[in-house]
Structure 1
Amino acid sequence: MTHFDITKVLLTNFSGSKSAEEQAKELKLGFAEKYKLARLAIGRSLGEPSFPPTAPDASKYPLKGQQLFGSNGEELLWVSLLATNFKTYSPKAEFTIEQLQSMVRDHWHRGIGLLLEDWHEAEGRFEKFVEILVTRRALLAEENSSNEGTEDTWQGVAGSVWLTLGKLVDDGAEARWLVNGKGYAPNIALMGQAGSGKTHTMLKLLEQAQMQSGSPVILLDLGKGDLANNSMLAKQLNATVLRVPEQAIPLDMFYRNEDVDNAAHVLQSFRDSFERAMSSKPGPKQLDAFREALRSIFISKERISLAQIKQALDRYYSEKKIKTDAVIATINDLIQFNLFNPVQTPDEFFRNNWIITFGNATETSKKLAAFLLVDALHNYLKRCPESPLDEYGHRSLRVLLAIDEAKPLLAARHLGLSNLLRLHRSKGLCVMLASQSPDDYEGAADDYLEQIGLPVCFRTNANSPKVLNNMFGSAPNFSALDAGVCLSVLEAGGSMQKIKAY
């Protein structure tokens, strides 16, 4: 294989086929950027157990490699996947830039056709389309890893879990929503300005869900940390309160089960989270140095601490004679705080109830701790078997994750949060997000609102994103709502309803 500079890949033009461009118009997936559909198509084709046929032609509208693949480490993954695919079927052939262009075009062309078949099978319904991709088409080992070696001991009890939001304003009937029904996501988004009632309602729903399901609760307060002072709440949830950084989160954030977890993947997740937590974004060379400095300890060590990470970075920078930069400055700041202590395995930690607040944490330390916790939950759920179903298809709830003042996670476009919302319905995860505005969801790399089963909107002057308008069937006016009154849609495809939450 020819060794070419990855920079050349980023500057090279890549295209699909003319016919794929036409077929793509039939896919009503709402992607504003062309590269998103291209990536989905290429990934869909790479999952097939055969090499793609040659595309009939080339589109006149190419994308630069930097736009198609990304430039923050994603490009290495895409090129590696395509190179592996090529060598699987042509082990003795040379892999060149030209060959990479050809493969992209062929996979892009075939992938669009396959996605269109999936779309027709789903009868043009987005939720069913996603379900087909995730449950029947997803062949990647990373997200479908074996359940062998799992340490999971809690699967929950199968049965319906109904949450009562309040009473309908029109007729006074109870406004109820089935969390674990069939055909939609068990995730909740609560939006509204301060004092509108969103946090009060989220806590009420959280208590109901725990009472009916018996599931462990992880409640994160990313705001001022006031929930740590609510002793009645802690008693009702039977939760341990942690005030970070005064108290460390007692979780092995980088836990690996050797049978199913890959050290490189855990390190990559940490690097992504660290990068998003930094106030000034590192460049490609800094990210490469970060990965190389930590590679050995992520392979060889267990229960890695932040102090060990700092030692490894300092040693590498000294050996390579690299000057102090933003990465070192950030780790020097973080090491002053007591963010986590790797004493409990994920199985031990996620079996218990926690209220975790960050009232006195810096913005960087709060983000990093929250990102690592979300990543750890994602990796834990990947190892778990599917939650059991009752005879009516109600899936047991394994973990309830609630995040108050969730804007830092939403704004960071953190992949871990996206993974939780998209991938773990079958594992029994329910996520509740409370933030002050629908605008907090606007512009995310992954449209989180499309993974929401229950939207709950209190008073706010913010504009409603297009996805939220589609869910409500109109452009609702949230600014005229009284305190404690919200708008919601209790059934998929149903009409908007006004609810007196309290």
Structure 2
Amino acid sequence: MGTFIPIHGHTSRIFRRQRENLKTIHLSKDARKTVYDIARSTNIYPYHIWARAALGYSLGVMGNPDDLPSTNVPDQGDSPEEQKVSIGGFTGELKADTFWGSDKTDEMAFMALLRQREGRTLEDEDVITSLIKAHVERGLRYFCAEFARLGRRGDEFVLSLLEEPSRAAKAGQGSSIAQDVVQSGVDYSVRIILGKDVRSGMPVETTINGKGQAPHIAIMGKTGTGKSRTGLGYLASINEGKSQQVPCLIFDYLKGDIAREAEFKLVRDTLQAKVIDIEHEPIPLSPFALPNYSEESIRDAAYRFWGTLKSVMPQLKEKQRAKCVHIVRTAYGNLGRAPSFVDLWETADMVYPDPKERDSLLGSLYSELQRLADYKLFQNPTDSRSHPFYEGSYIINLSTLPEELRKAAVFLTLDHLFPELMARQNAPLDANGFRQIRLIIALDEAQSYLECKNPTLAKFLSAGRSKGVAVMLLSQRPDDFDQPKVNYTEQMGLKVVFRCDVNRPRAMEVMLGGEIDPQQIASLQPGIAKACLSGSNRPIDLQAWQP
């Protein structure tokens, strides 16, 4: 008990069935406001998954909810007007099909926990509904307090839910939301030989996934300094000679050399990586596939798509948002399944058949939908195969795409992977506290992504550790990590800096610790880098490779 219950399942069609044991749940106004605020701050939708998460939390805490209502009605403290209030489009009404989703396994797990807590058979609809509402409300009260304690920062809140003991546990009431499983007889440590210490000549080794360590890696340097060679060499060394490999998902952004050139053949062979050349083969997932196809889920997917599109295509205007959302929602409704980009483009033609009206209302949005349809970035949504990215290593060659589509392909992939990641149990620990790494995501030319300020990447960095996901960012300079709303530096564990230009010395000092002379960084010799290991606040001079 006390685990963060999975909140996403998989389905490729609208699937409705009568749930006999649960009536519609009516959340209080305070609970609705909590759900709305947290969903907006974390950008994790649909709203009802937070109600399910709250249920999972409450069921894992000792004692019964202290506000068990006698009937399932809106709270008596809510006025008739308040009971009708829609907060950001969320009415607080949770119907059985929406709340449980299409996967009956989740429903059965929750009901088993509820019966275990009550110590009796539960058959009466009103009793079951009242109990579930009481637990959801209690869980949301905790979420509200924790969210406020963390300054209403969504990334910190998600990390708190995944890794910190619950506040109830501190009061002696129960255990943490996400429990870690410790496995004996295994070694999950991920060690990397970085190179040699310039002063001593001794090998420099680090472990990226120790207790309390961020497993993420940042490697910076100007073009030609060997940052890609170094970073990908580290990935190969992690897997060299290992029977149980760590899967790597590598996005080759600029030149296609990682995917094709002889310089990286040893990396490809060591990782046993499959190369996906997006010019000839789509990315094997459907970005519009949803855990369920409720009206709320479709709405949230439509807005999420607009957010990603706008972050990489600045020519789009805010006034086009409503049109984009309408097209996406219409496509879902007409098809009864996840649409493809071709479906979206054809739906735009159907909704706005007059070319003059279409050009006037949609403008560049229509041409961008057409471009996405033409390039066939992702597999057809009628292909029900799940993606293979946790099973082996993949290199996705984006180099032949226009720049905006390269970014869109990466962010749409991450948008699809993140909720899937959150639904998984924490990655297990070995007896020495090393957490299993299930996947490493590597982004070459990462400055191209960081400047977009897309929230999904920040979420991976803040919440991926407990789920066993590490991120490697290969970028031009430390300045790239210091963005207005997110300082990515704070999330990185291992940091390696080759020769580069430093426009903001403060960013370099935060990256490596202590006062750093920008001129010293700009004049580093080939193969020499400044490195700061996870948990250290003092850089060392590292010879990463021999000229």
Pairing 1:233–2:267 present: yes
Q: Return the TM-score normalized by structure 1.
A: 0.69
Structure 1: stretches of 5+ with no match in the other structure: 1-45, 53-68, 101-108, 120-126, 140-145, 148-156
Alignment partner of 1:193 out of 222, 225, 235: 222
Higher mean alpha-carbon deviation, 285-294 vs 203-212, is at 203-212
Asked if the contact 2:309/2:408 (under 8 Å) is kept, the reply is: yes
Aligned to 1:495: 538
SS of residue in 1 equivalent to 2:538? coil
Letter in 2 for 1:204: G
After TM superposition, list the pairs within 5 Å mapping 1:99-498 onto structure 2: 114-115=149-150, 132=160, 135-136=163-164, 159-211=188-240, 214-230=245-261, 231-258=265-292, 262-283=297-318, 285-298=319-332, 301-318=336-353, 321-322=357-358, 323=360, 324-342=362-380, 343=383, 345-464=385-504, 466-476=506-516, 477-498=520-541
**Alignment partners' CA distance in 1, 2:452 and 2:270:** 32
Asked if the contact 1:410/1:441 (under 8 Å) is kept, the reply is: yes
Deviation at residue 362 of structure 1 after TM alignment: 0.7
Asked if the contact 1:246/1:338 (under 8 Å) is kept, the reply is: no
RMSD: 4.1
Letter in 2 for 1:226: D
**Alignment partners' CA distance in 2, 1:404 and 1:178:** 22
SS of residue in 1 equivalent to 2:529? strand
Q: Which has the larger radius of gyration?
A: 2
Asked if the contact 2:158/2:463 (under 8 Å) is kept, the reply is: no
Structure 1 pair 160/91, CA: closer, same or farther in 2 (3 Å)? farther
Aligned to 1:64: none
Deviation at residue 348 of structure 1 after TM alignment: 3.1
Deviation digits for residues 37-91 of structure 1, max 9, x if unmatched? xxxxxxxxx9997999xxxxxxxxxxxxxxxx9xxx989999x99xx9xx86524
Deviation at residue 92 of structure 1 after TM alignment: 2.5
**Alignment partners' CA distance in 1, 2:396 and 2:385:** 17
**Alignment partners' CA distance in 2, 1:408 and 1:455:** 19
Number of aligned residue pairs: give it: 401
Asked if the contact 1:221/1:227 (under 8 Å) is kept, the reply is: yes
Letter in 2 for 1:327: L
Deviation at residue 372 of structure 1 after TM alignment: 0.8
Structure 1 stretches of 4+ with a deviation exceeding 6 A read 46-52, 73-78, 109-113, 127-130
**Alignment partners' CA distance in 1, 2:374 and 2:148:** 53
Asked if the contact 1:199/1:404 (under 8 Å) is kept, the reply is: yes
Q: Return the TM-score normalized by structure 2.
A: 0.64
Letter in 1 for 2:541: K
**Alignment partners' CA distance in 1, 2:506 and 2:291:** 41
Structure 1 pair 392/301, CA: closer, same or farther in 2 (3 Å)? farther
**Alignment partners' CA distance in 1, 2:217 and 2:29:** 31
Deviation digits for residues 370-406 of structure 1, max 9, x if unmatched? 1111212212212222111111111111111111111
Deviation digits for residues 326-377 of structure 1, max 9, x if unmatched? 1102112232213122346444344232111122211122121111112122
Deviation at residue 457 of structure 1 after TM alignment: 0.5
Deviation at residue 461 of structure 1 after TM alignment: 1.6
Aligned to 2:95: none
Asked if the contact 2:215/2:465 (under 8 Å) is kept, the reply is: yes
Aligned to 1:90: 78
Letter in 1 for 2:235: L
Structure 1 pair 227/245, CA: closer, same or farther in 2 (3 Å)? same
Asked if the contact 1:192/1:437 (under 8 Å) is kept, the reply is: yes
Deviation at residue 248 of structure 1 after TM alignment: 1.8
**Alignment partners' CA distance in 2, 1:74 and 1:51:** 12
Identity value in percent: 26
Structure 1 pair 177/130, CA: closer, same or farther in 2 (3 Å)? farther
Aligned to 1:29: none
Structure 1 pair 307/110, CA: closer, same or farther in 2 (3 Å)? closer
Structure 2: stretches of 5+ with no match in the other structure: 1-27, 52-73, 89-143, 168-176, 179-185
Structure 1 pair 330/49, CA: closer, same or farther in 2 (3 Å)? closer
SS of residue in 2 equivalent to 1:167? strand
Structure 1 pair 50/411, CA: closer, same or farther in 2 (3 Å)? closer
SS of residue in 2 equivalent to 1:164? strand
**Alignment partners' CA distance in 2, 1:427 and 1:134:** 9
SS of residue in 2 equivalent to 1:426? helix
**Alignment partners' CA distance in 1, 2:391 and 2:451:** 29
Deviation at residue 424 of structure 1 after TM alignment: 1.5
SS of residue in 1 equivalent to 2:342? helix
**Alignment partners' CA distance in 2, 1:133 and 1:385:** 12
Structure 1 pair 366/237, CA: closer, same or farther in 2 (3 Å)? same
Structure 1 pair 164/77, CA: closer, same or farther in 2 (3 Å)? closer
**Alignment partners' CA distance in 2, 1:385 and 1:76:** 20
Asked if the contact 2:342/2:370 (under 8 Å) is kept, the reply is: no
